[in-house]
């Protein structure tokens, strides 16, 4: 589990929440350095999400695991759009867990007696070392009995697709091919960020998978 003194991300989010918009800079153990990392993007309300994301929220049912849940934007959206779904938020940050009541755990280490209909892992994997991503993806597949929603920023996204003024660049810039291979060992990619575990009994037509 992450000790409090390493929980820079959780601390930065809390500082921001409490009105401290001071500079945040990142210095990682692999030598990566970045100054002036914005936190605003993580505080946007579910009302600001795209229309198709809000529409998709209405389809969510059952047990939902949000791993690396941060401030719990998904919980808030689910309360509004699919109040019958049961939400479990998990985060590595002891500060965020204490403040919001999440279960403390990591993508690779979190265990649960029962599995989940939807596993959400949004904007987390790009911050983790390669080995944690590999083990994390295997764990997500074990936790998932329905579908997973995995969103991350790859190197190509950083170079070509994202709005750099609104996206955190303090990430491991791994290629999309690397992520496809790593996630693809345990999941079938259905497009749109939706993945089915390899052992899923859902029948997909050929053009429904990538």
Give me the residues that bind ligand SAM (CB under 6 A), please: 9-10, 42, 67-70, 73, 91-93, 96, 106-107, 122-124, 127-128, 132
Closest to ligand SAM by CB, 2 vs 200, is 2
Residue 129: burial class (beta carbons within 10 Å; 0-12, 13-18, 19+): exposed
Q: Which is nearer to ligand SAM, 3 or 206 (CB)?
A: 3
Output phi, psi for 127, to 5 deg. Answer: -95, -5
Of residues 115 and 200, the one with the C-beta less far from ligand SAM? 115
Q: Smaller CB distance to ligand SAM: residue 17 or 200?
A: 17
- Least CB distance from residue 132 to ligand SAM, whole Å? 6
CB of 111 to ligand SAM, least distance (A): 13
Q: Which of 61, 52, 153 minimizes the C-alpha distance to 116? A: 61
For residue 123 the two structure tokens come to 């904007």
CB of 124 to ligand SAM, least distance (A): 4
Question: Which residue matches tokens 């965020």?
Answer: 96
| CA 60, 196, 70, 170 torsion-angle sign | negative
> Quick one: tokens of 99?
């403040």
By C-beta, is 43 or 209 nearer to ligand SAM?
A: 43
Least gap, CB of 68 to ligand SAM (angstroms)? 3
Are 25 and 33 spatial neighbours (Cβ–Cβ below 8 Å)?
yes
Question: Which residue is nearest to ligand SAM, using beta carbons?
Answer: 70
Identify the DSSP state of 114: S
Q: How do 187-191 and 26-27 pair as beta strands?
A: unpaired
Closest to ligand SAM by CB, 20 or 199: 20
Residues 6+ positions from 72 with CB-CB distance below 8 Å: 66, 89, 100, 102
CB of 108 to ligand SAM, least distance (A): 7
First to last CA, the chain: 35
CB of 201 to ligand SAM, least distance (A): 28
């Amino acid at each position: 589990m992450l000790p409090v003194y390493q929980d820079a991300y959780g601390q930065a989010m809390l500082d921001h929440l409490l009105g401290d918009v001071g500079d945040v800079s990142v210095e990682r153990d692999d030598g990566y350095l970045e100054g002036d990392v914005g936190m605003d993007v993580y505080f946007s309300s579910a009302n600001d999400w795209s229309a198709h994301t809000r529409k998709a929220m209405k389809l969510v049912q059952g047990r939902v695991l949000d791993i690396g849940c941060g401030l719990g934007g998904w919980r808030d959206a689910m309360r509004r759009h699919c109040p019958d779904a049961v939400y479990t938020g998990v985060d590595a940050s002891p500060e965020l867990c204490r403040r919001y009541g999440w279960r403390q755990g990591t993508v690779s280490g979190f265990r649960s007696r029962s599995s989940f209909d939807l596993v959400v892992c949004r904007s987390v994997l790009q911050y983790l070392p390669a080995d944690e991503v590999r083990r994390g993806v295997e764990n997500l597949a074990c936790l998932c009995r329905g579908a997973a929603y995995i969103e991350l920023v790859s190197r190509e996204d950083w170079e070509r697709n994202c709005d750099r003024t609104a996206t955190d660049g303090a990430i491991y810039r791994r290629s999309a091919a690397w992520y496809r291979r790593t996630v693809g060992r345990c999941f079938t990619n259905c497009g749109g960020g939706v993945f089915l575990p390899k052992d899923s009994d859902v029948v997909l037509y050929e053009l429904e998978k990538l």
